[in-house]
């Protein structure tokens, strides 16, 4: 994902970050695409990606547009 709108970190796992981008889900421009990335030794690995209505409120925001 390029140019995410929001980057958060999992409240229970400091090695998991979530990248959110709005307007990239076909036929649903209001949804966010959430990409879950696991970082180990400075290398990120995509675990999964899916659409959501909003970011989870318990995730800690690292960066936001």
pLDDT digits (tens, 9 = 90+) for 8-55: 999 999 999 999 999 999 999 999 999 999 999 989 999 999 999 999
Q: What is the rounded distance in angstroms from the CA atom of residue 65 to the CA atom of residue 63? A: 7
Residue 57 has a pLDDT of 95
The Cβ-side half-sphere exposure at 9, using a 13 Å CA radius, reads 9
- The pTM assigned to this predicted structure is 0.93
DSSP 13-27: EEEEEEEEEES-STT
* Tokens, residue 18: 């979530």
């Amino acid at each position: 994902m390029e140019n995410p709108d929001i980057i958060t970190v999992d409240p229970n796992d400091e090695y998991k970050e979530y990248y959110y981008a709005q307007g990239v889900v076909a036929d649903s421009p209001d949804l966010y695409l959430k990409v879950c990335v696991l970082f180990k030794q400075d290398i990120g690995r995509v675990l999964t990606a899916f659409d959501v209505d909003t970011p989870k409120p318990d995730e800690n925001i690292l960066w936001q547009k």
